[in-house]
Amino acid sequence: MCRYSGLLVGMNALSKILKHTDLLVGAGLLLVVGMLLMPLPHWALDTGLVVAMAMSVMILLMAVNVKDPVEFSAFPSVLLITTLFRLALSIAATKLILGTGQAGHVIQTFGDFVMGGDAVVGFVAFLILVIVQFMVITHGAGRVSEVVARFTLDALPGKQMAIDADLAAGLIDEEGARNRRAAIKKEADFYGAMDGASKFVKGDAVAAILIIAVNIVAGFIVGMMRNTGDAMTILKTFSLMSVGEGLTSQLPALLISTASGLMVTRAGQDRSMGNEVATQILNQPKAIGVAGAALAVMALIPGFPATIFLGASGICFGLYRFLAKAPNIGDLLEPEKKIAEDKKKKEAAQAPATPAGPESVLPLLNVDAIEIEVGYGLTKLVDARIGGDLTERITATRRQIALELGFVMPTVRIRDSYNLTPNEYLIKIRGEEIARTTCMPGMALAVNSGALLYTVPGLAAKDPVFNLDALWIEPQHKESAERAGYTVIEPSAVISTHLAEVVKQNAAELLSRQDVHQLVENAKSINAQAVTDLTGAMQIGDIQKVLQHLLRERVPIRDMVTIMETMADYAGRVKDTSQLGELVRSAINRTITRQYIDDTNRLCCVTLDPSLERQLVESISVTNYGSSLALEPNVQNSLVEKIHEQLDNSVATGNQAVLLCSTQLRLPLKRLIERFFPGLSVLAYNEVAANADVEFVGQVKAA
């Protein structure tokens, strides 16, 4: 019981200490810096050397046993701290050797026992140790770190696109995508840090050679100045201590540099290094058998120790016979993994069979509402890790459309496509291509505003939204282009603006019944009675048609309460959803008028001659598909020409006019002329807000 209580107290104390690890690390670093400045007693130096050896052994074992190098992502920081700690110990030992002629028990033991009291032997051993570490392990690990870091960073965009593709295909959810993105970011950060951390070990090896040379030369000078003996005695004394100190510091350095090499060479391994090596070697029993036969033949060569060769050959043959009959060596090394796999296979066998009929291909029938496909040259605009901001701009576009139209834009799927040229992208709505154009990453689009002071060099292009003349220019010409009067747009902004325009043009098609249901439920929290009255008189499908009628002419549907109250008022008497949409338009006339007035509250209008308007009203034909104008071809052509003439006159005077007509004529007239003037807005008299300052800039007269 007392032992248990003591253990509990110790665990509580340890947990309290671990809560302040950041303070402990900071205090440790300050202690190391203090070691560089203040002299240490012999016992403190011995303790530090023992701690350095223990840390190096522990780090090596951790490098061997981790299943994934990223599990030990703190290794570059640990490498820096341990290198600084060893250098501090070397400086402290130098001060003791030169100051007192003593270096502590650990260094003395290395000098006497490891080197046998012979400084020359010890110095040669030290040089060989440094050469092995510097030329072989450190150099190789540094090269591998550099290559792995470069390949990992180059592979980031591809990995990101693979995650997006899996997410779009439904293979993973948003949480899984976030986890995988975090994992590849952590991997890239780790190998990038390892590339720089490998320089610590190389510098440590160089510093060790310089320190031992300084210790020998300075020790000899100090000994001669103090007259502590003859020259050979002084040289031998300080050489033994200096080389002993070098061996003491380089042994932990060798272990840690080996651990560094193991960490960066763990390519494609998902288990600990010991299991991986044993599995891959022992899974080749034929190679072991051939090696045994080769050793047996070499035992016949005169002068070779036949007993040793035959013993090694017998071991290889025995291992070959055992492995040839044994099951998979991986199952022997990791029996718990084998048990887990068997359990998983058993559960899979008991699970219902995957549908093999039509149900197996049903997921392939799903179509994304909005999709952007990009060529591989544009993937850098998508990846936020290398500065891409396209996803952020699309998020901003969704907010903008929600504010402008009151329409919740569906999620946009972004995919890379090898069917496109590197700098090409296309936008799809419901799986069908709507727009395709080229975007130049690393450049900017300078759009001709029509009032240029001078031109700038660039590649001729067209603005994908308004089809204006434009240039793709280099970044260094942006300021000059803006001064010249161009409107300069970033590549990702070009795509997001193009997407916004496509969504506005196709908002009616994108508005699904599920979207309408969500809008109605959202309005229910504001005005539950209006929702109750409406849903009692109309189905969701009819509400959808009315909202689509508004969105088709870019009329915002943000004021859902007014829209629903108007529909509820007339739903019992008006069954035509188009006519119901016209009634809603008059109810939200302030919203409609606001889109067309200028800063001075002025609304420029082109009207119809009264006689022409009467003639057109008499030509309205009502069918099952709605009302339309039944005009003779020559009358229709004449009407279109006269409207075009008045619009041109309006634009020439700097006015962007709308066409104003009676309520009953508005919808048929809009349906007629939208084929010729898709951007022309047609308003009814009752759709003009009372506070608007109406200015008539033209009139379409009868023939």
Q: Which residues, given as ranges, of the chain have pLDDT below 50? A: 1-2, 4, 268, 333
Asked whether 56 and 252 are in contact (CB, 8 A), the reply is yes
Which tokens belong to 294? 């080769």
pLDDT at residue 275, as a whole number:
63
Bridging pattern class, strands 658-661 and 602-608: parallel
Radius of gyration, alpha carbons of the chain: 41
**Cα–Cα distance between 64 and 252 in angstroms, integer?**
16
Q: What is the pLDDT of residue 4?
A: 47
Fold annotation for 598-703: Rossmann fold (3.40.50)
Helices (H), 352-423: 390-405
Pairing of strands 432-438, 444-447: unpaired
Query: Taking a C-beta distance cutoff of 8 angstroms, is the pair 91, 36 a contact?
Result: yes
pTM of the model: 0.52
Nearest to 585 by CA among 551, 620, 613, 538: 551
Domain 511-587 annotated CATH 1.10.8.540: yes
Q: What does the DSSP 8-state code read for residue 460?
A: E
370-507 CATH: 3.40.30.60
Q: Rounded to an integer, what distance in angstroms lies between the CA atom of residue 195 and that of residue 305?
A: 46
CA distance 559 to 521: 14
In this predicted structure, what is the pLDDT of residue 341?
57
The predicted pLDDT at position 44 comes to 79
DSSP structure string for 441-453 = TTSEEEE--S--S
**Is residue 85 exposed (0-12), middle (13-18) or buried (19+ Cβ within 10 Å)?**
buried
Contacts of 353 (CB under 8 A, 6+ apart): none
Q: Is the backbone of residue 117 left (phi > 0), alpha (psi -120 to 50) or beta?
A: left
Long-range (24+ apart) CB contacts under 8 A made by 650-653 are 650/604, 650/606, 650/697, 650/698, 653/697
